[in-house]
Amino acid sequence: MKFNTKTIHGGQHPEPGTGAVNIPVFLTSTFAQKSPGIHSGYEYSRAANPTRQALENALASIENGARGLAFASGLSATDAVLKLLNPGDEIIACDDLYGGSYRMFTKMFEKYQLKFRFVDFSDPSTVEKAITEKTKLIWVETPTNPLMKLVDITAISRLAEDKNILVAVDNTFATPYLQKPIDLGADLVMHSATKYLGGHSDVVAGALITKTLELGEKLHFIQFASGAILGPHDSYLVLRGIKTLALRVERHSENGLKVARYLEQHPKVSNVFYPGLKSHPQYELAEKQMNKGFGGMVSFRFTSGRKEEAVRFLEHIKIFTLAESLGGVESLANHPASMTHASIPEDKRQEKGITDDLVRLSVGIEDIEDLIMGLAAGFDKI
Ligand code: P1T
């Protein structure tokens, strides 16, 4: 099956009992057994639920993986990956990544003696230098949140080969429509399914997809034993979202590029961060790795470099809603320094380039003329 067919049919079949074309929302915590231990394959919904199972099968299908798992949030999916590790293990992570992932790594898992090294993944040789005998996981985000840096997944996966190091890719920004980390050599894909997979800003959810069944089994054990599962109704919402993923991401990419080009020529804007612009330092890699488009995420700074301008702009833009999150059909705008990345200490933020005048846009699927008008309304006030 090709990608568009997979989003609709991958791992999904009419419900056997009634023939319902859409998998029903199985609102049940438990399942009747004929005799102790003799059951239909379902015992208790923390272990497995048919609606979640359909979503998990669909996730594996669209990411070309062996096993999919659906979690209560993107962060709980990440939490499950870290629980594969033991005290003393080392993790190399991108220096630019979602603030909540950074907070979990540093504030929750360092106290269990996991050691995190944050390095710039734009140049794989920097990652190579950071590998030690204790390295067990390389955590990639590409494009990164919020600076839209790219990571060469194939090059990073080669570094980990034969070293017993897992390569995990947070594929939230790109989605499997644009980028398939497992095909490029990664062991594991993570999603905040809250974003493009769900696609309608109506659910918080997370996903893991593994290259091998063996790794899938280990993570299923953690999911079952720790319990951060996605409920059946939320599973249904994500499953429904996935059916239109390709159409939506095509339009997000089209609008994203137009917004990036508009910003790039705007006199009040200094830097625009978007992998589909020829001015992006990794444009060639973007063309190779994200071959169907570049997505809907665009960040930029102001010529003045002043936070006040960013704030005033965000207070006056139209159509775009000032809110955290991304990847829904509607356009959102965000001020990373005081919203999504506020959990990173100020000095570290400055060091990484998350300056106070940085604005991040999640470009939705509205008409482009209205989006440009909405942004112009903000610029007119500064
Ligand atoms: O919010 P949650 O579903 O738990 O996912 C966390 C997460 C993980 N990875 C990436 C790349 C993310 O962007 C996120 C969540 N991000 C936002 C809420 C945001 O506005 O950036």
Model confidence over 101-124: pLDDT tens digits? 999 999 999 999 999 999 999 999
In angstroms, the first-to-last Cα distance of the chain is: 51
| Residue 178 banded pLDDT, cuts 50, 70, 90 | very high
> What integer is the mean pLDDT of 149-167?
97
* Ligand 1 center–CA 42 separation, angstroms: 31
pLDDT, the chain, mean: 97
Catalytic residue among 95, 170, 187, 357: 170
Element (H, E) at 302: strand 297-302
Residue 203: Cβ within 10 Å count: 21
Nearest alpha carbon to residue 208 among 66, 335, 306: 66
Confidence check: pLDDT of 221 > 90: yes
Using the Cα atoms of residue 115, residue 117, residue 118 and residue 124 in order, give the sign of their dihedral. Answer: negative
Catalytic residue among 42, 46, 83, 292: 46
Q: What percent of the chain has pLDDT over 90?
A: 97
Q: pLDDT tens digit string along 21-54?
A: 999 999 999 999 999 999 999 999 999 999 999 9
297-302 vs 269-273, strand pairing mode: antiparallel
> What integer is the mean pLDDT of 128-146?
98
> What integer is the mean pLDDT of 212-230?
98
Residue of the CA atom closest to atom 13 of ligand 1: 98
Residue 116 forms beta bridges with which residues? 91
Confidence check: pLDDT of 16 > 90: no
Q: Tell me how long the chain is.
A: 382
CA distance 257 to 204: 27
Confidence check: pLDDT of 99 > 90: yes
Question: CB under 6 Å to ligand 1: residues?
Answer: 73-75, 98, 100-101, 141, 145, 170, 172-173, 192, 194, 204, 206, 324-326, 334, 340
Using the Cα atoms of residue 297, residue 302, residue 305 and residue 306 in order, give the sign of their dihedral. Answer: negative
Q: Which of 172, 188, 192, 234 to mutate to test the pocket of ligand 1 (most atoms within 8 A of CB)?
A: 192
| Residue 291 banded pLDDT, cuts 50, 70, 90 | confident
Catalytic residue among 195, 251, 301, 352: 195
Residue 35: Cβ within 10 Å count: 6
Query: Cα 368 to chain center, whole Å?
Result: 24
Contact 120, 95 (CB under 8 A): yes
**Any idea which residue has 């604005």 for tokens?**
359
Q: Which of 79, 144, 173, 194 to mutate to test the pocket of ligand 1 (most atoms within 8 A of CB)?
A: 194
**Any idea which residue has 């644009």 for tokens?**
178
166-170 vs 135-141, strand pairing mode: parallel
Residue of the CA atom closest to atom 2 of ligand 1: 74
> What integer is the mean pLDDT of 136-149?
98
| Residue 11 banded pLDDT, cuts 50, 70, 90 | confident
Q: What percent of the chain has pLDDT over 70?
A: 100
Exposure string for 47-57, b = 16+ CB within 10 A, e = fewer: ebbbbbbbbbb
Catalytic, 236? Answer: no
HSE (side-chain half, CA atoms, 13 Å) at 236: 11
Contact 327, 298 (CB under 8 A): no
Model confidence, pTM: 0.97
* Ligand 1 center–CA 184 separation, angstroms: 23
Q: pLDDT tens digit string along 319-361?
A: 999 999 999 999 999 999 999 999 899 999 999 999 999 999 9
Catalytic, 195? Answer: yes
> What integer is the mean pLDDT of 2-9?
96
